[in-house]
Amino acid sequence: MRTFVAPLLLLAMTDVGAADSPAPAPIAIAIHGGAGTLSRERIDAALEAEIRAALDAALDAGHGVLARGGPALDAVEAAVRVLEDSPHFNAGKGAVFTAEGRNELDAAIMEGHTRRAGSIAGVRALRNPVSAARAVMERSRHVMLVGEGAEAFAREQGLAFAEPDYFRTEQRWQQLLEARQREAEAKAPRASSYFGTVGAVALDRQGHVAAATSTGGMTNKRWGRVGDAPIIGAGTWADAQCAVSATGWGEFFIRLAVAHDICARVAYAGTPLAAAADDVVLRRVPDLGGDGGVIAIDARGNLALPFNTSGMYRGWIAVDGTRGTAIFRADE
Amino acid sequence: MRTFVAPLLLLAMTDVGAADSPAPAPIAIAIHGGAGTLSRERIDAALEAEIRAALDAALDAGHGVLARGGPALDAVEAAVRVLEDSPHFNAGKGAVFTAEGRNELDAAIMEGHTRRAGSIAGVRALRNPVSAARAVMERSRHVMLVGEGAEAFAREQGLAFAEPDYFRTEQRWQQLLEARQREAEAKAPRASSYFGTVGAVALDRQGHVAAATSTGGMTNKRWGRVGDAPIIGAGTWADAQCAVSATGWGEFFIRLAVAHDICARVAYAGTPLAAAADDVVLRRVPDLGGDGGVIAIDARGNLALPFNTSGMYRGWIAVDGTRGTAIFRADE
C-alpha cells in the first residue's frame, strides 16, 4: 500500500446527520523501519516473519493508544519505542556503529496542532531516544539538544540508559567492518550505509496528528554527523493538517526540507497528501541524487507511504481498520 | 526599510529590447546583526556609529563580491565573516557565554539553485563558523556536523581556530553573570538572552540566491542546546527563487520552520516575498509566543526585512543601488 484515501470519512463528512449514532472520529497510523536497497536474498522467511512481527507489534502499540482515545503524540512515541527495542531496525537496540565503533542516536517528535517539538542528536547511551526527544519537548524550554549536554539533560530527567552492549548486534558490527574495508580500499560507501531509521505518524480521535523518528544514523559515520531524523522540517514534521516521518539518505532530505515541504504543498498549493508526498519522494529527492521514503498522514486519515528504493519496512492501520505490513514494493 | 520591490527590474523585464545596451543583471544584498528588545538608552551615539560602520563594512564586503560578478554564496560568506569578526554581534568574536562560561558557536550556509547546504553546531574555537559550515558543504559528504566531531573536521580542513580569549567581550560576560543571578533568584531569563545572530542573503548576476547565518546562541545555555541558526529550513534556507536568514527566539523559529515556510509560501501559494515574510514573522511567530525577525530576498532582487521586536540591526543594498543601515523601527 502506498496511499490510502479515506472513503469512510468522506462519506461521513458529506452525510452529516444521516446516521442515528455517528461513527467515532477516525484514527489511523503508519510506521516505517527504514528504506533502502533491501534484497530478498538477504531476508529469509524466518527473518521476514520476525520483522513483520515487530512491525505488527509497533502498530498494535500505537493504534492501541488511539483506540483508547489517547493522543497521536502518545501513539507515535509508543510505536517508535517498540521499533527502537527491536534489534532489526537501525534505532535504539540494533543501531549501526560510527567510525569509532560506537553508537550515536538521534530522534525527534512533533505534535501538529500545538507545533510543540523535541529533538536530540548524538547521544550514546539512551535506551529510547524518542522518549528523550519528548522530554526535551515537554520538560525543557528548548527544542533540540545535542551530544553530552543532551545526555546530561536526559540523566536529570531520569530517563533509562543502557550499556554499550545493549545496542550491539553482530550484523551491525559486520557492516562497520565492511565499511572500514571499503574505505581502506578507497571504494565509495554502500548507499545502504546511509539508511535505516524508524518512524511513526498518527491521527487521533481529536483530529490531531503527530510524527516521530529515531535512528542510529550512518554506518562508519564520523565528525559528529547529524542526518535528517532529528531535524524538525527535514526528517520529522507535524502541523495542524499533516505529519511526516522520513527515512533515507539524510543529507538530501535536509537539503529539500522534505517533511515540511510535503506539508507545505498540502497547505499552500492544495495538493492532496499522496500527490505531495509522491512529488517530493519520487521526483525531487531522486532529481537531486538522493533516495529514501516517507510515511505521511493528514487530519482526515489519508495515508501515503512512497519510497524510491527497492524496499521500505512499513506498516499501517487505516481509518477503516484495514491493516498491513510490507517490505518490498511487490508486497502491496 | 522593511520591504523593497524592485521597480527597475520590473521595468527591464517589460521593456526587453527597448534599450541599446541592456542594464546588467540585478544584484542585491541584505544583512542582519540580530533582533531583540534593543533600547535607545543602551546604545549611545558612539556605539551606534560603530555598529552602523560594521554593518556598512559587511554590506561592502558582500556587495563587492556581487559587483565583480561573483556568486551569491561568496557574497553571503564574506558579509557574515565581517559580522563574525565584529565584537558588537553575537557571532564569532562577541559571542555570548554558555552556562559553563564557554562559547558555543553555530552557523549554516545554503546556495539556492544547487540546494547545497552546510551547517555546524556547538563548536567552541572556530574563528569564522560560517566558513566551517561552507567547508562542510563543499568538502564533506555531509550537511550538518556537531560538537567535537565538527571541530575535528574543521581542523583537518585547516580552518582558523582561536583561543577562548579571542571570543570574550566584557559585555557578554556581564550578561552571563546577570543571567546566572536571575536564575539563582528563580526569575525567568530575559527574552533578550535568546537573541543575537548575524546573517546575509544575496542575489548575484547569474540570478542565484544564497543565505548564511551565524550565532553564539543563547546566554547561559546548557545541555548542548541548538537554536534555529544551523537548522536548514528553520534559521537558514535558500532555493532557486528565495533565500532567508532568521534571527530570534530559535525554538519558535524551528517549530515553524520559518525560513523554509516563507519560501514555500512564495513557491506554492504565489505570495509575494514581502507578504510571505510578514505573514510568518508578524503573525505566525508571535501567535506561537515567539519573537524575532528575518531578512529575505528573491531571484528578482526584492528584499524583505520584517521583525516583531523593538529593533533589528540590519542593512541592505537594493537592485537600484540604494543602501542603508538601521537599528530601530523608526530608523526607516
pLDDT digits (tens, 9 = 90+) for B123-166: 988 999 999 999 999 999 999 999 999 999 999 999 998 887 88
Are B254 and A268 in contact (CB < 8 Å)?
Answer: no
- Distance, in Å, from the CA atom of B92 to the CA atom of B90, rounded to the nearest integer, reads 7
| Span between the terminal Cα atoms of chain A, in Å | 5
* CB-CB neighbors (< 8 A) of B154 in chain A: none
The half-sphere exposure of A124 on its side-chain side, counting CA atoms within 13 A, is: 13
Q: Is the CB of B149 less than 8 angstroms away from the CB of A225?
A: yes
| Domains of chain B and any CATH numbers | 25-331 (3.60.20.30)
Which of B143, B150, B264 has its CB closest to that of A251?
Answer: B143
Tell me: the pLDDT tens digits for B75-97? 999 999 999 999 999 898 888 87
Cα A273 to Cα A302: distance, rounded to the nearest angstrom:
7
Predicted complex ipTM: 0.91
Q: What are B200-225's pLDDT values in tens digits?
A: 999 999 999 999 999 988 777 888 99
pLDDT, one tens digit per residue, over A172-210 is 888 888 888 888 887 776 655 556 899 999 999 999 999
Percentage of chain A exceeding pLDDT 70: 91
Lowest mean pLDDT among A156-170, A192-206, A249-263, B179-193: B179-193
Set of cell numbers at residue B155: 581542523
Cα radius of gyration rounded to whole Å, chain A:
19
**Cell numbers 571541530: residue:** B151
Q: In the structure grid, which three cell numbers stand for residue B231, read together? A: 537548522
For an interface test with A, which of B104, B105, B140, B142 has the most A Cβ atoms less than 10 Å from its Cβ?
Answer: B142
- Strand ranges in B102-256 using DSSP code E only, listed in sequence order: 105-111, 116-123, 144-146, 198-203, 209-215, 225-226, 236-238, 242-248
Q: Is residue A155 pLDDT above 70, yes or no? A: yes
Is residue B197 annotated as part of the catalytic site, yes or no? yes
Structure confidence at residue A168 as a pLDDT band (50, 70, 90): confident
Closest CA to A62 of A331, A224, A291, A245: A245
For residue B16, give how far its alpha carbon lies from the nearest alpha carbon of chain A (Å).
Answer: 31
Residue A320, classed as helix, strand or coil, is coil
Chain A residues within an 8 Å CB radius of B231: 144, 231-233
pLDDT at B190: 64
pTM above 0.80, yes or no: yes
Active site residues of A: 197
Cα B48 to chain centroid, rounded: 19
Comparing CB atoms, the residue among B140, B146, B257 nearest residue A232 is B257
> Are the beta carbons of A142 and B225 separated by less than 8 Å?
yes
State the cell numbers at A276: 505531495
Instruction: Tell me which H or E stretch contains A231.
Output: none
A225-226 vs B144-146, strand pairing mode: antiparallel
**What is the spatial distance between Cα B256 and Cα B241, in angstroms, rounded to a whole number?**
20
Are the beta carbons of A254 and B145 separated by less than 8 Å?
no
